[in-house]
Amino acid sequence: MDKKNGKKLGHFELCLKEFKIGGIFTLAYIAVCCALSYFLGYGLDGTQTTFIMGIPSWAAIGVFLPWIIMVVITTVYGLFIMKGDDE
């Protein structure tokens, strides 16, 4: 239900709200991945690269770690925060 006037939101309004939230999270994820990968990996030659379990540290911290965090955030949001159209 819409808290302002007590009526149910239509499917379009619900989808638009969730689309906006998903877009914001996606843009933030891309920005964080690009920034971390750039600052941790750009300008290093092969001798300066450190590895975490055989993966270059810039890839592990700049790609895999934000990806895992985004999966957890999306799961928590989908299960506990996102509201549906209760009939």
The pTM (predicted TM-score) of the whole model is 0.69
Question: Residues 4-48: pLDDT tens digits?
Answer: 555 666 778 878 888 898 899 899 999 999 999 899 888 888 788
pLDDT, residue 38, reads 92
* Domain segments of the chain as ranges: 50-82
CB neighbours (10 Å) of residue 58?
A: 19
Query: Is a pLDDT exceeding 70 seen at residue 79?
Result: yes
- For residues 40 and 62, is the Cβ–Cβ distance under 8 A? yes
Q: How confident is the model over 50-74, as pLDDT tens digits?
A: 889 999 988 999 999 999 999 998 8
Which letter, b or e, does each residue of 2-26 get, where b requires 16 or more Cβ atoms within 10 Å of its Cβ? eeeeeeeeeeeeeeeeeeeeeeeee
